[in-house]
A = this chain, B = another copy of it.
Amino acid sequence: MKRRTTSSKQAVFNILKSSEVALSQDDIEKKVAGEMNRATMYRILNSFCEDGHVHRIFSDDGRTYFAVCLNCKENDHHHNHVHFRCLKCLRMECLKEEIEIKMPQGYTFKDANCLVTGYCNCCS
């Protein structure tokens, strides 16, 4: 299934790319110009994740956030950096810090999703 370039995809990608924080589908819907179907947007976001352009962050607020992969090379996605969600301004951002996880004997690591909540420097 070869991917096709569409204006919807470009719009979503530009919003993600120009955002300094991770965005939920809801956030993106508010930022996008005009109308875009929710199902379509989820399909776009899912395809970005599959293709490795974007990564998901599963938050404790029940939403999934999306952010462009900055330090990930093609075929080398390391998502074991820490995400931070401010409990006051609700912004979700990627922290620089990476965590090292020693897996127990016999366990195989696949992916990590590390979320820290608290207050950012503006809200502390």
Contacts and interface: CB of A to CB of B under 8 A. Distances in A.
Oligomer: number of copies: 2
Given A60-B58, A112-B114, A115-B112, A104 B121 contact: yes
Interface string A90-124: 00000111010111111111111111111111001
Contacts of A56: 60
Interface of A: 56, 58-60, 82, 84, 87, 95-97, 99, 101-121, 124
Given A58-B59, A115-B113, A107 B87 contact: no
Nearest to A100: B99
Contacts of A97: 101-102
B107 A121 contact: yes
